[in-house]
Amino acid sequence: MVVYSRLIPIFVVTGFLGSGKTTLLNHMLRHPSLKDAAVLINEFGAVGLDHFLVKKMDENTVLLASGCLCCTIRDDLKSAILELNSKRERGEVPRYKRMVVETTGLADPTPILFTLMSDPVLRNHYRLGGVITTVDAVNGLHQLDRHAESVRQATVADRIVITKSDLVETSQLAALKAHLMRINPAADYMIGRFGKIDVRRVLRADVYDPSKKAAEVKHWLDLEAIKTARDHKHIHDVNRHDEHIRSFVVTVERPLDWTAFGIWLTMLLHKHGQNVLRVKGILNVKGIDAPVIVNGVQHIVHPPLHLAAWPDDDRRSRIVFIVDDMDGTLIERSLAAFNRVGAAAA
């Protein structure tokens, strides 16, 4: 059986045009933690990447029969990874231990995540390590207002790196961060100055790395940050691309029945996967002492895994949802109803 945590992690670096993805990548790749990483990029930009293994991929997208954009296989990405993998196996390239994929600035990253998490061949060798999104402090608010792709890039992120912060006033930086936190309160926010960033903290986004998962989950469940983000006042404008995106935490008091939860979540994602942009949580599963982590992007859910211990004193199941135009109260009531069905003792 494949042990998920031993698969090669792939970090996806996304962000709008000119938001500093390549600058960030260049900085990241100089860090010792990434000296053994392979890099796949969509286009060779003006800033060259100085790294031992950089490969370009061409866009070749195959839409699956379901017709849902997020369930699209990126054939180019799959081929590029498998080609590199073959060379790695044959010893034609160094045995890289991680991979970084940079997306184009205009891309909705969800097909890339879908490809990495659902393709049966890739899943035997690789897993998604984390999604890092760059947002430009100067133009970020404008891009979020005007471009749906920019909003998608922010909602799927585990890390949001606000770049070019040295070029704006503190108040503008604070306004952008507050805006982003309303879209994605469960991400870790980092401020990049002069193209530099704490690389170790970026790589902690990998919740399936046993040495990092406890700290990462604690961050997901920073409920105060989520509440503050939700309460943050913003101007209502139905033409904004992020107007209908909201986040909330579903809390379940009684232990969850794992079977009922699986039935419920697969049904929810079957019907509403396009609108469930992220789901991340810690579950108190009936009959299991250790907490269970659940982590999904749209229709796709990572294999659930255990934490060694609870990150705080709260023993309730807590699931963070980032959704597009969905009713959080109804989701909570629905989960409780399904859980109730599986609640009887033998």
- Pick the binder of another protein from 120, 171, 231, 239 (CB under 8 A): 120
Q: Of 21-29, 93-101, 118-126, 188-196, which part binds another protein (CB under 8 A)? A: 118-126
What is the Cα gyration radius of the chain? 20
Binding-site string for another protein from residue 8 to residue 47, where x marks contact by CB under 8 A and - marks none: ----------------------------------------
Residue among 56 and 271 whose Cβ is closer to another protein = 271
Binding mask 215-254 for another protein (x = CB under 8 A): ----------------------------------------
CB of 38 to another protein, least distance (A): 24
Phi, psi values for residue 70, rounded to 5°: -70, -20
Residue 60 or 266: which CB sits closer to another protein?
A: 266
Smallest gap from Cβ 252 to another protein, in A, equals: 14
CB neighbours (10 Å) of residue 313?
5
Q: Is the distance from CB of 45 to CB of 30 less than 8 angstroms?
A: no
Alpha carbon distance, N-terminus to C-terminus of the chain: 31
**Position among 88, 259, 310, 311 found at the interface with another protein (CB under 8 A):** 259
- Looking at 24, 57, 202, 268, which residue binds another protein (CB under 8 A)? 268
Binding test (CB under 8 A) with another protein, winner from 148, 215, 267, 309: 267
Compare residues 53 and 279 and give the one whose CB is closer to another protein. Answer: 279
Total residues interacting with another protein, rule: CB under 8 A: 47
Compute the C-alpha angle 247/191/227, nearest 5°: 25
Residue 60 touches another protein, criterion: CB under 8 A: no
Tell me the three state secondary structure of residue 324.
strand
| Window 66-105: contact mask with another protein (x via CB under 8 A) | ----------------------------------------
- Residues 6 or more apart whose CB falls under 8 angstroms from that of 166 comprise 193, 194
Cβ atoms within 10 Å of 68's Cβ, excluding its own: 16
Residues 176, 178, 182, 188: is their CA dihedral positive or negative? positive
| Minimal distance, residue 194 CB to another protein, in Å | 42
Contact partners, residue 65, CB within 8 Å, separation at least 6: none
Rounded to an integer, what distance in angstroms lies between the CA atom of residue 332 and that of residue 346?
Answer: 26
Report the residue from 93, 195, 218, 258 that binds another protein according to the rule CB under 8 A. Answer: 258
**Is the CB of 77 or the CB of 331 nearer to another protein?**
331
Question: In the complex with another protein, which residue's Cβ is closer, 220 or 338?
Answer: 338
What is the nearest approach in angstroms of another protein to the Cβ of residue 173?
38
Binding positions for another protein, 273-332, rule CB under 8 A:
285, 288, 290, 292, 299, 301-306, 326-327, 330-331
Contacts of 266-273 spanning 24+ positions with Cβ under 8 A: 268/331, 268/334, 269/296, 269/298, 269/299, 269/301, 270/299, 272/323, 272/326, 273/68, 273/70, 273/71, 273/298, 273/299
What are the backbone dihedrals phi and psi of residue 162, each rounded to the nearest 5 degrees, phi first?
-85, 115
Cβ contacts of 56-60, under 8 Å, gap ≥ 24: 59/104
Given candidates 239, 270, 308, 313, which one binds another protein under the rule CB under 8 A?
A: 270
What does the chain come to in residues? Answer: 346
Stretch that binds another protein, among 140-148, 180-188, 215-223, 264-272 (CB under 8 A): 264-272
Provide the binding-site residues for another protein, judged by CB under 8 A.
1-2, 4, 120, 123-124, 257-260, 262-272, 285, 288, 290, 292, 299, 301-306, 326-327, 330-331, 333-334, 337-338, 340-346
